[in-house]
Amino acid sequence: MSGMRGSPSKPLTASTVLETAKAHVRRFGEAKTNVVDVARAMGVSHAALYRFYPSRSAIMDAIVEEAMNDEARLAAEHVETDGPAAEKLAALLLDLHRRKRERFLGDREIHDLYRRIVVERPDMIAAYSERITSLVARLIDKAVSKGEWKVDDTGVAAGVVRDAATTYVHPAFVAQLVTAGAPVETMLRATVSTLARAFEAGVRYKSPAADGQTRQLRARGRAAATQSARASAKQE
Amino acid sequence: MSGMRGSPSKPLTASTVLETAKAHVRRFGEAKTNVVDVARAMGVSHAALYRFYPSRSAIMDAIVEEAMNDEARLAAEHVETDGPAAEKLAALLLDLHRRKRERFLGDREIHDLYRRIVVERPDMIAAYSERITSLVARLIDKAVSKGEWKVDDTGVAAGVVRDAATTYVHPAFVAQLVTAGAPVETMLRATVSTLARAFEAGVRYKSPAADGQTRQLRARGRAAATQSARASAKQE
DNA sequence: CAAATTACAATCTATGAAATCTGTAACTTC
DNA sequence: GAAGTTACAGATTTCATAGATTGTAATTTG
C-alpha cells in the first residue's frame, strides 16, 4: 500500500517530484497542475511533497530555474570555446534564442510558465540576467586580453550586449517575433555584427578625465574594472 | 435639457470626446471608464459618442495613438536637427525614454492603458515601431550622406538600433527599470556610444559576394537600399 | 434631416455561495 | 524516529446568477 506507481520508477526525491510536476505542467498547463495530482501520479499523498518543496509555487519556480540553469550552462560552453569573439558571441546569443524559440514552439506550457515568472518574479530574472551578463563579460574580457577587442569597461560592454540582445531572448519577444514570422536570426546577426564592429574598433565608456587610470586598469585585472563599473552604475 | 455641462466648454467633437475620456482614464483607470460616464461628463447620452467613435475600445486605442503620435513627432524633431549623428541619436532615444518614464511616474493610468495595448494590439505596435524605425533610418541616412557614418544598409542598421533601444523604450521595461532604480540613462548612453562607434567605423550587413553592387548602392539613393533590406528581411 | 435621445438585446462583469486546493499539524507505520 | 498519511483550517477558484455596460435601431427634437 506504499508506492503503487512511484516506488520503482520514482524514488520520491526532490528531483523526481520536479520531473513529475513538469510532466503535468506539460500535459495540462500550470493552472491545472495541483499538488494532489502530482502526488497521486507518484503514488503518495500530497503532504509528502512538502518534504521537498515548501510550496506549490516553489515547485513552479524550480521548473523555471532548471530551464535557466540549462541556458546558463549552454552560454558558459560558448564562453569557454576558442575562436573569434564575434563568432562566439553570435553563436551564444543564437543558441539562447533558439532555446526559447524551441520552448515556445514545442513546449508551450513550460514557455507560458516561464513567461509568468518573468513578469511576476523580477528577483529571479535579475539573478538570471546577471548570470548571463557576467558570462558575456567574461567572453568580452577574453577578447580584450587577446587584443581582439578594445573595451574600456567590460561590465558596461556586457550590459550593452545584454540590452541589445534582450529582444531576441526574452520569452515574450521571442513569442511575438516567431508568431510574426520575423527574420529573427538575420536580425540577431546584424545586431551582433554591429556590436562586434564597435568592440573591434574600440569603445570608451569611462569619462576621458580619468585617462591615466584607464590605462592601468586595462593592463591589470578585468574583474576590478568590471566591479567599479557595476558599482558606479547603481545610482541615477 | 440638452447640454448641461458639455455644450459651452465641450462642443462635442471627436477631439473633445477623446479629451474627456482621457481625463476619466486618468482619474479612475481604464477599467472603470465606461462610455456612459464619459457621455454624462459631456452632458450627452452615451449613444451620441458613437457618432465619433465606433466602439469604446476605439476610444482607448485613440488615446494611445495620440501618445504615439506625440512620440513620433518628438523623434522627428531630432531627426531634422543638425549636429553630430551620435548626439542626435542619443538625444532622440533619451527623449523617448523620458517620455515613457514620465508617463509611468506621473500618468500611471495612461501608462497602464498603453501597456495593455502593447500586449494586445501587435498591429498598432508594429505600425508605431515601423514609424520610429524609419525615422531612425533617416537619421542614419543623413549621417551616411555626410560621410559621418559608413553603413551598408540603413534599414538593417535602423533595425539594430530599434532592437537595442527597445529595452529603454518599451513601457514594461521602463516600468521595471525605473522601479528597480537602474541607472537607465547611463546605460542608454553606453548603448548609443557603442552603436555610434560601429557606424563610425563602418558596418557591412550585406554579404561580401554582392560587393560591386554595394558600392553603387552606397553612392546612389538610400531609399532603394533600405527598401531592399526590408524586403529581404521578411523570410526565414 | 442632422443630431441626439430613448429603449433594448447582447455581451460582459461583479457577487456570493459551493467546491476545490494549499499548507500544516497531529497521528500512524515501518 | 524518519517517512508518510490523514484530517482539517484557511485561501483560492469555480460557477451560477444578478446587475451593469456596450452597441444598435427606432424615435424624437430643433
- Output the pLDDT for position B208: 72
**Residue A78 scores a pLDDT above 60:** yes
**CATH match of A9-51 with 1.10.10:** yes
With an 8 Å Cβ cutoff, is A231 touching chain B? no
Among candidate residues A157, A160, A162, A161, the one with its CA nearest the CA of residue A225: A157
Helix (H, G, I), strand (E, B) or coil at B147: coil
Residue type, B135: L
Q: At what angle do helices A154-169 and A184-201 cross, to 10 degrees?
A: 170
Chain A residues within 8 A of B173 when measuring between CB atoms = 166
Give Dmax (Cα) for chain A.
Answer: 76
Contacts of B111 (CB under 8 A, 6+ apart): B100, B103, B104, B171, B175
CATH architecture under which domain B7-51 falls: Orthogonal Bundle (1.10)
The stretch B126-139 carries a mean pLDDT of 98
Å separating the CA of residue B146 from the C1' of nucleotide C17: 73
Enclosing H/E stretch for A219: helix A211-219
Where does the pLDDT of residue B48 fall: very low under 50, low under 70, confident under 90, or very high at 90 and above?
A: very high
Q: Does A205 touch chain B (CB under 8 A)?
A: yes
- Which residue would you say has higher pLDDT here, A2 or B201? B201
Q: Which nucleotides of D are covered by protein (CB under 7 A)?
A: 3-7, 14, 20-26, 30
b/e per residue B8-28 (b: at least 16 CB within 10 A): eebebeeeebbebbbebbeee
Give the CA-to-C1' distance from B122 to C2 in angstroms.
37
pLDDT in tens, A135-187: 999 999 999 999 999 999 999 999 999 999 999 999 999 999 999 999 999 99
Kindly list the domain boundaries of chain B, sorted by start residue. 7-51, 57-226
**Closest-CA residue to B192 (of B96, B92, B79, B102):** B92
Q: With contact defined as beta carbons under 8 Å apart, do B150 and B219 qualify?
A: no
pLDDT on residue A65? 98
Residues of chain B with Cβ-Cβ distance to A197 below 8 Å are 197-198, 201-203
- Asked if B17 CB < 7 A from strand C, the reply is no
For A197-223, the pLDDT digits (tens) are: 999 999 999 887 655 454 444 444 444
CA dihedral angle for residue A78, residue A83, residue A87, residue A92, rounded to 10 degrees = 0
Q: Which CATH class is domain A57-220?
A: mainly alpha
Question: What is the per-residue pLDDT for A110?
Answer: 98
- Is residue A123 classed exposed, middle or buried when 0-12, 13-18 and 19+ CB atoms within 10 A define those classes? exposed
Residue among B122, B173, B185 minimizing CB distance to A180: B122
Average pLDDT over chain B, rounded to an integer: 89
Instruction: Say yes or no for a CB contact (<8 Å) between B187 and A163.
Output: yes
H helices present in A6-121, as ranges: 6-9, 14-28, 35-41, 56-80, 85-106, 108-120
Question: Please, what is the Cα angle at A225 between A224 and A229, to 5 degrees?
Answer: 115
CATH entry, B57-226, from 1.20.5, 2.60.40, 1.10.3470, 1.10.357: 1.10.357
How many A/B residue pairs have CB atoms within 8 Å?
107
Length of chain A: 236
